[in-house]
Structure 1
Amino acid sequence: MLQQTPNDRLAKLSWRERIGYGLGDAGFNFYWAIIGSYLIFFYTDIFGISAAAAATMVTVTKIVDAFTDPAMGAIADKTNTRWGKFRPYLLFGTLPMMGAGLLTMTTPDLDESGKLIWAYATYMILMLTYTVLNMPYNSLSAVLTADPQERNTLNSTRFFFAYFTGIIVGAATPDLAEYFGGGDRYSPIGWQITMSIYAVIASILFVITFATTKERIAPPPEQKSKPLEDLKNLLVCKPWIIIFILAMVIMTTFTLRGSSATYYFKYFVERPDLLGAFIGLQVLGLMIGAMSASTLTRYIEKVKLLMILMAIVSVLCFAFSFVPKPDALGVVDVNDAERTSLKAQDLLGEAHQPGDTYAWTRYQKVFWIIKDRVALDDNSATLELAGLQNETISVIKTRADGSVLDSAEIPGEILLMFALSILISLALGPKAPITWAMYADVADYNEWKTGRRATGMTFSATTFSQKLGSAAGSAIMLSVLAMLGYEANQVQSDASLEGIVYMQTLAPGAFAFIAIIALLFYDLTGDKLAKIQKELSERKYTTE
């Protein structure tokens, strides 16, 4: 028997343990970044499921999956092994999740009904295996230490790795899918191979987290497992109810931004070649914001800081909605088999004049928006596309007066889109480490108030709300597309384009504003938290 002392409870973690814990979330984001940013697009534009059917499927699956979280929380709270309550799941759940990820990205040749059944089954299995690993992982952060500032640092470290992985997955996935698809970014095999690489890396990272962390905080030794009682305690816990609402609302914001970006750049901006850069830099902003959380919370109380940040997000999203479609599209991806030619004036936004000459170029991808340009043997004002499907094309125009106009120069409107997106991400970034530290505070509050510690149930019930938010975001996105007449790989109607723009801009801003309202009622701050930690640290516990 190991005697737990107040020093154990308020332990200062080594960087080895902080990094080891953070690498676990890097592993999860090899799955979640694809789910959040590309899975809806994968279903509609690659697997061939209609937007309306995909909306129903994703919503139903995520809602069903959300209800597995409290059950997993109860199971984890009852678990007692020589490795602890939560760490064992990171060791034994990796292979099932790897298999589920590969099946989800597999596209068997079935009719529409068969595709839907396959999508329901594989996505549901993926989310179930994700829960089996992710819920214990989330709970683990609350039992490594109870020191509030140490938790802020731990979660900032965690989300640094999570967002760093998001940058890699967000930016590299389209190019990897194209590479492994034999030059076709819409090839199903390319997406499946990409997912298999991600799954192997994630599994290695989960094992590292298992090996480098230590559970230090345990329930009172006399506490018996009573999941229903623990759930009842949560349902009457005001701070938890507010966190539940907050998590659901903010996850809706994240999901809308992530899932609409692919459609936004393909159909509104008409620069799908910039999607990887857009998502990659978006996640880089989130990562920098997350890294700043532990510093910001030293000077501004967590709840007040979140309210300020959500207000910034809301204002910036509103401003984003006014950014117009660029007149000159610049580089264009050619992937429509029915498209037979490109006109220089369409790319440049400037009509042909006598004396103008042209140099058409093809882009060979290197990384993000950095590309090698290869000249094509054609200098006419119109480029015939025979043999040039699935290529990225630009044109350089030399005017009669000798000046040069290059379609590869990114239009100012697109630069403004990037700038606003990065600023929004910087403001959203601290949200994740701050709110996860707040979840741990709620677990401590419940233990202080009821005498029972139910870490797994507390975190699982909160991730339940996040999954409802994710389901809501996906459902809103797909339902709006279906309602406005979206058709995959076709020129979209004005109404459909407008809906895509609003899902990327106004809708996330509205949900950020709702988050501010929820935070007005949260009072687990400052002196109250200090009192709780002081009293809990004075209690004596014994753990196996």
Structure 2
Amino acid sequence: MKKLSKLSIVGYGAGDAANNLAFTTATMFLLVYYTDVAGISAAAAGTLLLVVRIFDAFADVFAGRMVDRTFSKRFGKFRPFIMFGSIPLLLLSVATFSVPQLGESGTLLYAYVTYAALGLAYSLVNIPYGSLAGAMTQDPGERAKLGSARMVGGLLVGSALGIFVAPLIKPGADLQGTFTTITLLFVVIGAALYFFTVMTAKERVHRAVPNVSVRQSMETLKGNKPLLMLCISSFFFLSGYLALTSVQLYYLRDVLGRLDLYPVLSIIQLAATFVLAGFMPRLVRTIGKKRVYIYSSVLTVIGGAIIFFTPAGQIWIGFSGLVISLVGVLAVNIVVWALEADTVEYGEWKTGVRTEGITYALFSFTRKTGQAVGGALAAYALALGGYKSGGAQTADALFGIQLAAGAIPAVLTILAVLVMSKYKLTDAMHAEILTEIQARRTSGEAAASEAAPESASEAAPDAASEAAPDAAGKTAAAAKPLPTSTN
């Protein structure tokens, strides 16, 4: 198979840039918008984030089932969802950041409905988008490049938000007008980016598309222990990351008193992303994806400890902790998508059934659940400290912010590392699995071609259609266990 072109890699990255016009805008600013613009209390906002994001996690499973049962001859398995779901997603982002004043109950109800609708629309676009990488290539190095492109696309958007939008979030500003203008602009930009992705990031790993039952999907997931370990670890990691992201602006503005450093932080993140993306494929080949994940997570723990224990007003020490923590997050978020793609082949090797959509959906489900917990923990930490919008914060309120930005992410990331240490699907083992899968496919195709002439001569039209899956099933049943690599 030919190597991926640069255009297809860039096109894939453009898709995550479009995704993050909705997703990162929400993770960075929605809690601030709810507390400081819509007038929703921190505790109520925390419960809202928890409930809606858990609903969103179940929406991922629904989307995964749809993906596994859908195929278009023209656009393939995944791109139709991106093409037709992108505009509703972007328009719902506008609605989410346009909360009207309908009284306490009415305002809260509107926020619940619009954010839940946004989450469902995001699932119907992001699940196929994430699964697309596994259908573009099976090469670990190229998958690392796609993961890097995805991270670059997302961070370009995140950096732009940090540089141009975050400094505007200050008392007395017309924040509602700001968010309305920005989200409307994102509809236009996002539509163009999604179109570019659909036209350039095409499926190249061609396979038969079986009608996968719910039972087959569940059996595939049940035997996929690497996926289970990755999901649990990602749950803890994302919980910590979302706690930090949700209060990052509060930390710079209220604890360090330097909201003007937000653009600087965004520029550092952007530069770090390009550096990491450049040498990540080589790093993966040298030490493996698992070790990259664990070592990067340790950086996040160190940064979180610095954030929590640094007294308010110690600007550069606290800022350094923030940088260290986020660099670790960047590296993990680059490599984690390649790890998820590897678990798809592991599941196929174990069961003979390939289920990209439901596998990605389960992975995304646990990540979304982690995001729900992390965002809620951050909001509850603000409420615990007695945070009040629009003025100077008390010492207790500052402690609540540091708790959410530092201690909670550090503790949860330690748990993520402990779980990931049990992950057994090394890169060497994955390479052997790919060889085994390819041998099965070759054997199955040969059996089908031999059965066809016999079927015709005996005038038994159903024989050929039954021979191929039967042969493939026998080949799968004869698979030998692979050695567990220690690399």
> Judging changes above 3 Å, is the alpha-carbon distance between structure 1 residues 153 and 72 closer, same or farther for their aligned structure 2 residues?
same
Is the contact between residue 244 and residue 378 of structure 2 (CA under 8 Å) also seen in structure 1? no
List gaps (5 residues or longer) in structure 1: 1-6, 327-412
Does residue 20 of structure 1 match 2:22? no
In structure 2, distance between residues paired with 1:280 and 1:124: 32
Deviation at 1:293, TM superposition (A): 1.9
TM-score by length of 1: 0.78
Is the contact between residue 147 and residue 334 of structure 2 (CA under 8 Å) also seen in structure 1? yes
Q: Please say which of residues 517-526 and 490-499 is displaced more in the overlay.
A: 490-499
Is the contact between residue 68 and residue 356 of structure 2 (CA under 8 Å) also seen in structure 1? yes
Which of 268, 273, 281 pairs up with 1:294? 281
SS in 2 for 1:321: helix
> Judging changes above 3 Å, is the alpha-carbon distance between structure 1 residues 493 and 176 closer, same or farther for their aligned structure 2 residues?
closer
**CA offsets 1:206-249 (integer angstroms, 9 cap, x no match):** 1100000221224445x332133212321332111101112211
Which of 217, 226, 229 pairs up with 1:230? 217
Is the contact between residue 26 and residue 205 of structure 1 (CA under 8 Å) also seen in structure 2? yes
Aligned 1:161-176 pairs, distance under 5 A? 161-175=153-167
What letter corresponds to residue 213 of structure 1 in structure 2? A
Considering fraction of residues, name the structure with more strand: 1
Corresponding position of 1:421? 322
Does residue 156 of structure 1 match 2:148? yes
Is the contact between residue 249 and residue 469 of structure 1 (CA under 8 Å) also seen in structure 2? yes
Does residue 210 of structure 1 match 2:201? no
Does residue 470 of structure 1 match 2:461? no
**CA offsets 1:30-86 (integer angstroms, 9 cap, x no match):** 122211111101000111101111111111000011101111111111111121010
What letter corresponds to residue 241 of structure 2 in structure 1? F
Is the contact between residue 73 and residue 457 of structure 1 (CA under 8 Å) also seen in structure 2? yes
Deviation at 1:284, TM superposition (A): 4.4
Is the contact between residue 285 and residue 422 of structure 1 (CA under 8 Å) also seen in structure 2? no
Is the contact between residue 92 and residue 114 of structure 2 (CA under 8 Å) also seen in structure 1? yes
Does residue 196 of structure 1 match 2:97? no
What letter corresponds to residue 285 of structure 1 in structure 2? A
> Judging changes above 3 Å, is the alpha-carbon distance between structure 1 residues 481 and 425 closer, same or farther for their aligned structure 2 residues?
closer
Which of 434, 441, 456 pairs up with 2:342? 441
In structure 2, distance between residues paired with 1:202 and 1:505: 33
Does residue 307 of structure 1 match 2:294? yes
Corresponding position of 2:463? none
Between the two structures, name the one with larger relative contact order (CA 8 Å, sep ≥ 6). Answer: 1
Q: CA RMSD in A?
A: 2.0
What letter corresponds to residue 420 of structure 1 in structure 2? G
Corresponding position of 2:483? none
Instruction: State, as a whole percentage, how many aligned pairs show the same letter.
Output: 30
Corresponding position of 2:247? 260
SS in 2 for 1:457: helix
SS in 1 for 2:260: helix
Is the contact between residue 290 and residue 429 of structure 1 (CA under 8 Å) also seen in structure 2? no
Corresponding position of 1:110? 102
In structure 1, distance between residues paired with 2:68 and 2:191: 24
User: Which of these two proteins has the greater Rg computed from alpha carbons?
Assistant: 1
Deviation at 1:301, TM superposition (A): 1.4
In structure 1, distance between residues paired with 2:222 and 2:4: 32
SS in 2 for 1:420: helix
Corresponding position of 2:472? none
List gaps (5 residues or longer) in structure 2: 446-487
Does residue 459 of structure 1 match 2:446? no
Considering fraction of residues, name the structure with more helix: 2
What letter corresponds to residue 52 of structure 2 in structure 1? T
Deviation at 1:290, TM superposition (A): 4.1
SS in 1 for 2:285: coil
Corresponding position of 1:352? none
What letter corresponds to residue 195 of structure 2 in structure 1? V
Aligned 1:327-346 pairs, distance under 5 A? none
**CA offsets 1:330-350 (integer angstroms, 9 cap, x no match):** xxxxxxxxxxxxxxxxxxxxx
Aligned 1:368-383 pairs, distance under 5 A? none
Corresponding position of 1:73? 64
SS in 1 for 2:63: helix
Aligned 1:337-416 pairs, distance under 5 A? 413-416=314-317
SS in 1 for 2:311: coil
Q: Please say which of residues 157-166 and 74-83 is displaced more in the overlay.
A: 157-166
